[in-house]
A and B are shown apart, each in its own frame.
Chain A
Amino acid sequence: MMNLVKWARLRSPWLLHFNTGACNACDIEVLAALTPRYDLERFGVLLKGSPRHADVLVVTGPVTRQVRDRLLRVYNQMPDPKFVVAVGTCCISGGVFNGCYNVYSGLDSVIPVDAYIFGCPPKPEAIINGVAALLKKLEES
């Protein structure tokens, strides 16, 4: 029974995309990864609008003080088990904005993160690779 659930979970990760203050380049790359060229639906990935439907929270951009509460609210609205992917250098560490008065140094200082995708911005291939890495981690757990 647990095996069946695990199998299902691995094969249908639904994404929720959340911009915490990105310069938009990362967002464009995330969306590019969802276009017909890369066709993430092959792996069962769907983009969902509501946090209640999503499994994976894809966060782009540095976490600003403004957005922190909203991010936490969206995170808390997601049903368990939920996973977080940090896309882009800004999101991982604050990037070029690290040390700014209005920016947290990294997403993991706000919510737990399961996978990091480097790049400024990361290529769609890198994003797919990141999601695949997350799934692999899930499979081994």
Chain B
Amino acid sequence: MEWLLELLQILIFPGIVFAIVLAFVYEWFDRKIYAKLQNRVGPLYTGKSGILQPFADFVKLLAKEDITPGEVDKPLFNALPIVALTLSLMGFLALPITGLRGIISFNGDLIFLIALMTLICIVIIYSGISSSNRFSTVGAERAALQLLGYEIPMMLSAISIGILAGSMWVYDIVNTQVSGIWFLVGPSILGFAIFVLCGQAELERIPFDIPEAETEIVAGWLTEFSGKKLALFRLTKDVELLYLSGLAVALFLGGPSGPVISGLEPILYPIYFLLKTLFVLFLLTTLRALFARLRIDQMVNFSWKYLVPLAILQVLLVRVIV
């Protein structure tokens, strides 16, 4: 029975099906808030206030013709969308949602989680290059350059949390916050800001949507993907959005914990998780609506001149306190 329960956990709740449904809902929320901030209403007629819009987009893309252009590197081009989706779903499974531990949880998994994000970015670089399209190639180059910019401050801010908790295990990190206070309160607020900014760059959203800048390079690394592959990539981005806000919650906002009535934890924890991730998502969306796209040199300059020193300062601060 044990294995059946585990299988259900991985497949349905809080596993893959839950992740995908939630990813659609979050994309809808993101688009709605974005539209509100631009004085629009956003998706409205697809389901109740447009909540089914991302699902409709997904189904439509699945049913469209799937073109594999003649010049592309076929095995890579066909495999990469699936690899990207798998990676992002794997990251989601490691997040603490129904309890203080994720489904995949082991000592040192923070390193694994950060590495997953880099891997997704590498998949993106490969998919740009395998398209053999000039726009895709430029997009891939930009993605690679951007990775050099945001990865180090992001890792440093995650490591500063590791130092605070005295462990690189997400379970320990959440546990320390449950017994003490959230890491967001106090010296880690700087780390949170850095993490959210770098997360925005990781997700390639405005102001860091340089690799897919549609006014300059069509759709960047995504240009040649159509139909099913595009659907999978969009879903990957949504799950990654969810995963990143979940990780920020686990590291800075005390994971799924909150005031609980004993015995009701499995119900209350996911609710707290949703509320907190929605808060992080709201921050990410506001950033997206407030800024215009940077140039790639400005982005790399900004992260090496300001983000990296600030991240180092954050680590030092934490070191002094501990």
Report if A52-B60 is in contact (Cβ < 8 Å); known contacts: A12-B53, A44-B53: no
Q: List 13 A-B contacts (CB under 8 A).
A: A8-B58, A8-B59, A12-B46, A41-B42, A41-B43, A44-B46, A50-B218, A50-B222, A52-B225, A55-B64, A79-B67, A80-B64, A80-B65
Q: Are A36 and B67 in contact (CB under 8 A)?
A: no
Q: Is B25 an interface residue (CB 8 A)?
A: no
Across the two chains, which residue of chain B brings its CB closest to A38? B40
Q: Is A39 an interface residue (CB 8 A)?
A: yes
Q: Are B50 and A42 in contact (CB under 8 A)?
A: yes
Q: Are A79 and B40 in contact (CB under 8 A)?
A: no
Besides A8-B56, A41-B35, A49-B218, 17 more A-B contacts (Cβ < 8 Å) are: A5-B63, A8-B59, A9-B63, A12-B60, A36-B38, A36-B40, A39-B40, A39-B42, A43-B44, A44-B43, A44-B56, A44-B57, A49-B219, A50-B223, A53-B230, A79-B67, A81-B64
Report if A12-B57 is in contact (Cβ < 8 Å); known contacts: A42-B43, A49-B219: yes
Write out the residue numbers on chain A whose beta carbons fall within 8 Å of the beta carbon of B63.
5, 8-9
Q: Is A96 an interface residue (CB 8 A)?
A: no
User: Taking chain B's interface residues, is the majority helix, strand, or loop, or is none over half, making it mixed?
Assistant: loop
Write out the residue numbers on chain B whose beta carbons fall within 8 Å of the beta carbon of A42.
40-45, 50
Q: Is B101 an interface residue (CB 8 A)?
A: no
Across the two chains, which residue of chain B brings its CB closest to A43? B45
- A residues contacting B by CB (< 8 A) are 4-5, 7-9, 11-12, 36, 39, 41-44, 48-50, 52-53, 55, 77, 79-81
Across the two chains, which residue of chain B brings its CB closest to A45? B43
Write out the residue numbers on chain A whose beta carbons fall within 8 Å of the beta carbon of B222.
50, 53
CA distance A67 to B59 in the complex (A): 33
**Count of B interface residues, CB-CB < 8 Å:** 36
Q: Are A48 and B219 in contact (CB under 8 A)?
A: yes
Q: Are B53 and A52 in contact (CB under 8 A)?
A: no
Residues 231-279 of B contacting A (Cβ, < 8 Å): none
Write out the residue numbers on chain A whose beta carbons fall within 8 Å of the beta carbon of B52.
11
Could you say which of B40, B67, B226 contacts A41, with CB atoms under 8 Å apart? B40
CA distance A53 to B65 in the complex (A): 10
Across the two chains, which residue of chain B brings its CB closest to A47? B214
Q: How far is the CB of B272 from chain A (nearest CB, A)?
A: 31
Q: Are A39 and B56 in contact (CB under 8 A)?
A: no
Q: Are B53 and A11 in contact (CB under 8 A)?
A: yes
CA distance A11 to B39 in the complex (A): 22
Q: Is B66 an interface residue (CB 8 A)?
A: yes
Q: How far is the CB of A72 from chain B (nearest CB, A)?
A: 16
Q: Is B224 an interface residue (CB 8 A)?
A: yes
Q: How far is the CB of A111 from chain B (nearest CB, A)?
A: 17
Which among A4, A44, A81 has the highest number of chain B CB atoms within 10 Å? Answer: A44
Residues 11-59 of B contacting A (Cβ, < 8 Å): 31, 35, 38-46, 50, 52-53, 55-59
Q: How far is the CB of A1 from chain B (nearest CB, A)?
A: 9
CA distance A41 to B46 in the complex (A): 11
CA distance A9 to B64 in the complex (A): 9
Q: Are A79 and B226 in contact (CB under 8 A)?
A: yes
Q: How far is the CB of B66 from chain A (nearest CB, A)?
A: 7
Write out the residue numbers on chain B whose beta carbons fall within 8 Å of the beta carbon of A12.
46, 53, 56-57, 60
Which among A8, A9, A79 has the highest number of chain B CB atoms within 10 Å? Answer: A8
CA distance A55 to B55 in the complex (A): 16
